[in-house]
Structures are given as structure tokens and as C-alpha cells.
């Protein structure tokens, strides 16, 4: 079982653990970063659609991209999912398992294994550069990543656990991925007082991170084992969903 998890915009500056591997698409990431480094602050703010403060921070990051201290990807991010994944407290055995089974989707590096070396950055899916042939960056990655993802899943057991988010599906020919591998995508719901189910983004992100931690700590090998996952009152609801869309519900 291979796992997809999205990266996060918020990143740490450094970690205690050192990276073990080089990103598969490091050369491309270097080219993209070099072009971003040539922009002035106004262009960078426009491309990233961000505030002047964030643009300034990331202008400095791109200037220092080559010399910045590298971190393992799984420990570099500090978004909502990663706060509940708590990667810094994972055992060496869990990290070793992650390195073989977890992919992190990313607009700068494409696909990352957990212990791949990364530096702080910010990249958005709509950024267009000369390097991307003026295509949005997610479209640029599509023909480079699709075969890699499919091959890694097929070399495992043919099952892809989708804990990334919809915007990252555009990094791939997603229709082809759906045809060539079995996708299992857990859904996380809060039951409302009227009995209806509602997804809340913050809780969904939290549960995705916690589920990745559960998988890594227990070295799960089948989707059926996800039924043992529970977190912050979210429990498996076998009467809902199906084998490819398992539901986890928090009662009101």
C-alpha cells in the first residue's frame, strides 16, 4: 500500500534529524527555484498571490535555495496535518516504513519520499514560468509524475491510499491513475444535530495526519486495517461508505 499526503505551506527552519535521500526530481526543483530567485519582490508576490511580508520571506528563501540547510521532508512541514502526524516523535522503524510507502505531493519538488532533503520554500499550483513552458506548474508536472506514482503503486500491492487533497490530483493524469491502481480515500465527517454528515476542513486535515501516524506506527499493509483507526472521537463507521471510501465519523 502506497500513501499520498499533501505538503504544507508552513515550514520549519530546521530540524534535528538529517535527510537521508535526494528528491527524485531535485534537478527540476533547482531549475524552478533558480527562476523564482530571479524575480523581484513584486513579481514574486504576484506569482504566489501573497502578501508583501510572505513574498519577502520567500524571496530570501529562493536567494538561499542552494546553500540553505536541508531537512527531511516529513519533518520540514508544519501545517495542520503535520501537527497531528507529529513526525519528530516517530521511531526509526516507523520512518523506515514511511520511506518505502509514503509519497508527499509538492508543487516545487513534484513527489517526495519522507526522508528526502528539502529546504524552506513556497510554491503554488498556478505559478507559470519559462521552465514550465508558461503552463501552470501543476500541469507541468503531470507527464513527469503520473508514471512514477503508478509504477510505485503497482510494484507494491496496487493500492493507493489517498490522504492528499483534490488540488494535488492535478499533478497527475488522475483519470489514468484511477484506472490503473485501486484508490482508497478515507472521508472524515462530523455528525450534525439533524443527523447529517459534514466535513470540516481543519478536522479532515488533522485526521489525515493522525491516520498517517497510525499507519506508520503499526506498519499497516491493507486498507482493511484502517478500521482500527480512531482519533479525537472519530471512529470507523462500517455501515457507511464502502471499501474504497471508508467513513470515519465523530458524533455530535
Which grid cell sits at 138?
A: 501543476
Burial annotation 34-55 (CB, 10 A radius, 16+ → b, else e):
ebbbebeeeebbebbebeeeeb
pLDDT band of residue 190 (cuts 50, 70, 90) is: very high
What is the arithmetic mean of pLDDT over 80-106? 97
What is the arithmetic mean of pLDDT over 220-245? 96
pLDDT band of residue 19 (cuts 50, 70, 90) is: confident
pLDDT band of residue 40 (cuts 50, 70, 90) is: very high
pLDDT at 20 over 90: no
Spatial separation of the C-alpha atoms in residues 37 and 32, rounded to whole Å: 9
The 3-state secondary structure of the chain reads: CEEEEECCCCECCCCCCCCCECCCCHHHHHHHHHHHHCCCHHHHHHHHCCCHHHHHHHHHHHHCCCCCCCEEHHHHECCHHHHHHCHHHCCHHHHHHHHHHEEEEECCCEEECCCEEECCCCCCCCCECCCCCCCEHHHHHHHHHHHHHHHHHHHCCCEEEEECCHHHHCCCCHHHHHHHCEEECCEEEEECCCCCEECCHHHHHHHHHHHHHHHHHHCCCCHHHHHHCEECCEEEEEEEECCCCEEEEECC
The reply to whether the predicted model has a pTM over 0.75 is yes
Which residues, other chains included, contact 159 with Cβ-Cβ below 8 Å and sequence gap of 6+? 1, 2, 153, 181, 182, 183, 184, 222, 223
Which residues, other chains included, contact 92 with Cβ-Cβ below 8 Å and sequence gap of 6+? none
pLDDT band of residue 225 (cuts 50, 70, 90) is: very high
| Each residue's pLDDT tens digit, 132-171 | 999 999 999 999 999 999 999 999 999 999 999 999 999 9
pLDDT band of residue 249 (cuts 50, 70, 90) is: very high
pLDDT at 243 over 80: yes
What is the arithmetic mean of pLDDT over 60-69? 96
What is the arithmetic mean of pLDDT over 196-209? 96
In this prediction, residue 150 carries a pLDDT of: 98
Which residues, other chains included, contact 198 with Cβ-Cβ below 8 Å and sequence gap of 6+? 189, 190, 191, 192
Task: Report in angstroms the alpha-carbon separations of 155 from 30, 158, 159, 181, 218.
Answer: 28, 7, 10, 11, 21
Per domain, the residue ranges of the chain are: 2-117+127-250
In this prediction, residue 99 carries a pLDDT of: 98
pLDDT at 252 over 90: no
Spatial separation of the C-alpha atoms in residues 100 and 103, rounded to whole Å: 9
User: Are 102 and 212 contacting, i.e. CB atoms less than 8 angstroms apart?
Assistant: yes
What is the arithmetic mean of pLDDT over 63-81? 96
In this prediction, residue 246 carries a pLDDT of: 98
What is the arithmetic mean of pLDDT over 116-125? 97
Which grid cell sits at 196?
A: 447529517
Amino acid at each position: 500500500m502506497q500513501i499520498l499526503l499533501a505538503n504544507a505551506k508552513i515550514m520549519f527552519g530546521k530540524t534535528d534529524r538529517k535527510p537521508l535521500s535526494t528528491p527524485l526530481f531535485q534537478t527540476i526543483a533547482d531549475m524552478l527555484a533558480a527562476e523564482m530567485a530571479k524575480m523581484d519582490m513584486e513579481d514574486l508576490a504576484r506569482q504566489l498571490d501573497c502578501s508583501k511580508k510572505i513574498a519577502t520571506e520567500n524571496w530570501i528563501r529562493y536567494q538561499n535555495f542552494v546553500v540553505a540547510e536541508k531537512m527531511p521532508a516529513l519533518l520540514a512541514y508544519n501545517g495542520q496535518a503535520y501537527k497531528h502526524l507529529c513526525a519528530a516523535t516517530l521511531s526509526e522503524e516507523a520512518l523506515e516504513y514511511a520511506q518505502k510507502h509514503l509519497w508527499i505531493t509538492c508543487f516545487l519538488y513534484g513527489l517526495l519520499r519522507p526522508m528526502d532533503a528539502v529546504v524552506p520554500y513556497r510554491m503554488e499550483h498556478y505559478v507559470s514560468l519559462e521552465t514550465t513552458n508558461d503552463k501552470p506548474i501543476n500541469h507541468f508536472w503531470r507527464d513527469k509524475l503520473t508514471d512514477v506514482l503508478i509504477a510505485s503503486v503497482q510494484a507494491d500491492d496496487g493500492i493507493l491510499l489517498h490522504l492528499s487533497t483534490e488540488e494535488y490530483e492535478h499533478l497527475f493524469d488522475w483519470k489514468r491513475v484511477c484506472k490503473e491502481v485501486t484508490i482508497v480515500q478515507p472521508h472524515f465527517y462530523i455528525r450534525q444535530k439533524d443527523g447529517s454528515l459534514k466535513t470540516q476542513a481543519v478536522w479532515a486535515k488533522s485526521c489525515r495526519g493522525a491516520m498517517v501516524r497510525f499507519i506508520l506506527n503499526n506498519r499497516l499493509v491493507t486498507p482493511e486495517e484502517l478500521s482500527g483507526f480512531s482519533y479525537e472521537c472519530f471512529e470507523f463507521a462500517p455501515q457507511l461508505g464502502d471499501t474504497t471510501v471508508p467513513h470515519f465519523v465523530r458524533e455530535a
